[in-house]
Amino acid sequence: MKVLFVCSGGGHLTQLHRLRGWWGEHERHWVTFKQPDALSLLDGESVSWAYHPTTRNIPNLIRNLGLAVRLLPRFRPDVVVSTGAGVAFPFFLLAKLFRCRTVYLEVYDRIDSGTLTGKLCYPLSDLFLLQWPEQQKVYPRGVVVGQVL
């Protein structure tokens, strides 16, 4: 299986990286921000660097949409997986056009409210994973998988 991981740095990247027992056996490509944590965690991995900041930044949203337009047809993933944040949305949007599956893991630190990116990606997600049962109030069709961190 070919997996495209799309996430911001910091805790978003750490949560996906913690799933190495699963993703280690698949062909994969990462999209994240070129920051010290990503350079360290993803050393030796196939990576495309996304544009940041993404919070309320329309020019970088457009740049990341362009990155998705270039990357998705070239890599042809079976699934796009993300923990957010804003960089995920353009990739989930394009993944639907390319008939690619999408999986979103809502972040650990939002127990009783949803994130903006989670709310945007929820309708675009084939599988929406939650780390807390309380998150089902915001995302009723979400599947509780427990804490990743």
64-118 pLDDT tens trace: 999 999 999 999 999 999 998 999 999 999 999 999 999 999 998 888 899 999 9
pTM above 0.85, yes or no: yes
pLDDT over 80 (residue 149)? no
DSSP-derived 3-state class of residue 9: coil
d(CA 144, CA 49): 30
pLDDT over 90 (residue 35)? yes
Of 6, 40, 48, which Cα lies nearest the Cα of 23?
6
Per-residue model confidence (pLDDT) at position 131: 94
38: CB partners within 8 A, 6+ apart: 9, 13, 30, 32, 47
d(CA 129, CA 111): 13
